[in-house]
């Protein structure tokens, strides 16, 4: 049967009651749960960094290298993961990725050398690379176009929720393993034992394997392949009169040439790069900054680090509505572009305020604004890839996410280099100001983003997503 062959509603395997089923909501909820796990595994090593460094006897520079290494493979794996998702579907690819990155995190508990931790973090980054490109394809296949901004923001909220929980949960679990039933009575300056981080990593890995297995069992790549979806829901998702296209798997290569030639795509990539340069500080260097600048204890570092990530949750909820509202008012071109640009300007102001902060709490509040503003623009960035990607949505999102995550990979050495090269007491200030300049340039670049121009024109319908 050819790609544009049709099947009638009578051939559809489900009944067709008047009210649409709501399986699509469950698919987005599942993708959100995956995002929670994604960030839990990503942030945990940063939170436990002081203890890990002491246990393995590694330097601050080596710890920065470990943080950065994760994001290099994460960035480089984006495009291949997106293409694999376009080619084979999210069910088996993302399910496999979840289990593999969870095993990489779990085996950290058995690592006793810098090289072992490095290899496992490189593996974790490579396998986590599949999460967001494949989640973008889930949104495109399961959500009507009018709700994609909100759906994208909900999945991204899961990531920020996992990131916000990771510092608190990791520290508290480390203290629990150190002190047993008396963990909650420990004073603020209590330190976890040198090996307490190991069982935490094992626990996170085990939970991830369970979630990955659930994903493989329950998820389906296309709405019409899920036994619980009725015809009414399928019509709602597709916005069609009831006829559906038979999904086929294509062996087409990613449209790299089209992406390289696209100025809007490059501007979108730079926006993501700048956003991740500043956001990367929060998930990697923030605990070190608190310790060196304000002598904050490890336990309090966990609580403070969680606040900017929690603020991102609010930003994501607002960001989905923000870009959808702008799109309704000004069209697709400016609906995405303005959301990216205005959010970058708010980040610039917040970073300048961080440079002038005089206490741990004031710095944290300013960084919470950075987290909120960063994620205020995230749904527009995601929606841009879905808007222009067409049948290559995974590849388009993966390409932009790759360049964006180079920003996170460069963030630890970027801040570390400026702090190390500056006079004592001034380095962090200069680092925040330098990061603000990068984000100001990104705010200008965002004005050239045009989501109304597809990367590759669709010559014929090839799937239910088109």
pLDDT in tens, 315-343: 888 887 888 889 888 988 999 999 999 99
Q: What is the per-residue pLDDT across 54-94, written as a single tens digit (0 to 9) for each?
A: 889 988 788 888 888 888 898 888 888 878 887 888 899 99
Using CA atoms, how far apart are residues 42 and 405, in angstroms rounded to an integer? 13
pLDDT for res 370: 95
Name residue, tokens 């206490």. Answer: 359
The more confident residue out of 46 and 365 is: 365
The more confident residue out of 123 and 77 is: 123
End-to-end CA distance of the chain: 18
Using CA atoms, how far apart are residues 298 and 243, in angstroms rounded to an integer? 58
* Burial group, residue 455, by CB count within 10 angstroms (0-12, 13-18, 19+): buried
Using CA atoms, how far apart are residues 303 and 315, in angstroms rounded to an integer? 19
DSSP conformational letter for 7:
E
Instruction: Indicate whether 15 pLDDT > 60.
Output: no
Q: Which pLDDT band, with edges at 50, 70 and 90, does 50 fall under?
A: confident
**pLDDT > 70 fraction of the chain, expressed in percent and rounded:** 88
The more confident residue out of 2 and 144 is: 144
Q: Which two structure tokens, joined as six digits, stand for 191?
A: 């330190």
Using CA atoms, how far apart are residues 240 and 148, in angstroms rounded to an integer? 17
Name residue, tokens 């962090």. Answer: 428
Using CA atoms, how far apart are residues 164 and 168, in angstroms rounded to an integer? 7
State the Cα angle at 172 between 170 and 174, rounded to 5°. 70
Instruction: Indicate whether 124 pLDDT > 70.
Output: yes
Contact 45, 108 (CB under 8 A): yes
Q: What is the per-residue pLDDT across 343-393, written as a single tens digit (0 to 9) for each?
A: 999 999 999 999 999 899 999 999 999 999 998 998 888 788 878 887 777
Phi, psi angle pair for 244, to nearest 5°: -125, 160
pLDDT for res 211: 94
- Range of weakest confidence among 68-77, 177-186, 233-242: 177-186
Q: What is the per-residue pLDDT across 413-424, written as a single tens digit (0 to 9) for each?
A: 899 889 888 767
- Range of weakest confidence among 176-180, 358-362, 398-402: 176-180
Domains of the chain: residue spans and CATH? 20-241+251-448 (1.20.1250.20)
pLDDT for res 192: 56
Using CA atoms, how far apart are residues 81 and 39, in angstroms rounded to an integer? 18
pLDDT for res 353: 96
Using CA atoms, how far apart are residues 312 and 321, in angstroms rounded to an integer? 14
pLDDT for res 328: 87
Phi, psi angle pair for 181, to nearest 5°: -70, -10
Highest mean pLDDT: which range of 189-198, 302-311, 365-374? 365-374
pLDDT for res 127: 94
The more confident residue out of 166 and 210 is: 210
Calculate helix-pair angle for 197-218, 90-106, nearest 10 degrees: 170
Q: Which pLDDT band, with edges at 50, 70 and 90, does 46 fall under?
A: confident
Q: Which pLDDT band, with edges at 50, 70 and 90, does 102 fall under?
A: very high
Using CA atoms, how far apart are residues 149 and 465, in angstroms rounded to an integer? 16
Which of 121, 177, 185 lies closest to 408, judged by CA?
121
The more confident residue out of 120 and 48 is: 120
């Amino acid at each position: 049967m050819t790609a544009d062959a049709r099947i009638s509603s009578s051939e559809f395997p489900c009944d067709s009651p008047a009210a649409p089923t709501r399986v699509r909501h469950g698919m987005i909820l599942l993708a959100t749960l995956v995002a929670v796990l994604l960030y839990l595994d990503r942030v945990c090593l940063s939170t436990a960094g002081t203890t890990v460094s002491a246990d393995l006897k590694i330097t601050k520079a080596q710890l920065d290298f470990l943080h950065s290494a994760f994001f290099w493979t994460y960035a480089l794996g984006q495009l291949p993961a997106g293409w694999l998702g376009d080619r084979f579907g999210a069910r088996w690819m993302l399910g496999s990725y979840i289990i593999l990155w969870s095993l990489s995190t779990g085996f950290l508990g058995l690592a006793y050398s810098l090289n072992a931790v490095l290899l496992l973090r490189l593996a974790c980054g490579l396998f986590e690379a599949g999460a967001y490109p494949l989640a973008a394809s889930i949104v495109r296949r399961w959500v009507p176009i009018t709700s994609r901004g909100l759906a994208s923001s909900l999945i991204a909220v899961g990531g920020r929720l996992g990131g916000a929980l990771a510092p608190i949960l990791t520290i508290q679990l480390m203290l629990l393993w150190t002190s047993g039933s008396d963990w909650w009575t420990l004073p603020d300056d209590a330190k976890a034992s040198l090996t307490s981080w190991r069982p935490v990593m094992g626990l996170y890995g085990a939970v991830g394997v369970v979630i990955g297995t659930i994903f493989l069992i329950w998820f389906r790549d296309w709405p019409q392949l899920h036994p619980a979806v009725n015809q009414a829901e399928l019509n709602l998702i597709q916005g069609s009169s009831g006829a559906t296209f038979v999904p086929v798997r294509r062996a087409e290569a990613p449209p790299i040439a089209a992406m390289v030639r696209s100025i809007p795509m490059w501007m979108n990539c730079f926006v993501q790069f700048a956003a991740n340069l500043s956001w990367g500080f929060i998930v990697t260097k923030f605990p070190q900054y608190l310790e060196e600048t304000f002598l904050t204890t490890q336990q309090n570092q966990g609580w403070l680090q969680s606040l900017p990530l929690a603020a991102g949750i609010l930003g994501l909820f607002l960001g989905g509505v923000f870009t959808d509202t702008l799109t309704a008012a000004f069209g697709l071109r400016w609906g995405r572009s303005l959301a990216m640009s205005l959010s970058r300007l708010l980040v610039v102001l917040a970073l300048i305020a961080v440079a002038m902060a005089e206490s741990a709490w004031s710095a944290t509040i300013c960084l919470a604004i950075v987290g909120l503003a960063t994620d205020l623009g995230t749904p527009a960035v995601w929606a841009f890839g879905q808007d222009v990607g067409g049948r290559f949505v995974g590849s388009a999102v993966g390409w932009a996410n790759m360049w964006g995550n180079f920003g996170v990979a460069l963030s630890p050495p970027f801040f570390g280099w400026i702090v190390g090269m500056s006079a004592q007491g001034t380095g962090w200030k200069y680092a925040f100001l330098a990061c603000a300049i990068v984000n100001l340039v990104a705010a200008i670049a965002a004005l050239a983003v045009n989501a109304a121009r597809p990367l590759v024109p669709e010559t014929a319908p090839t799937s239910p997503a088109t």
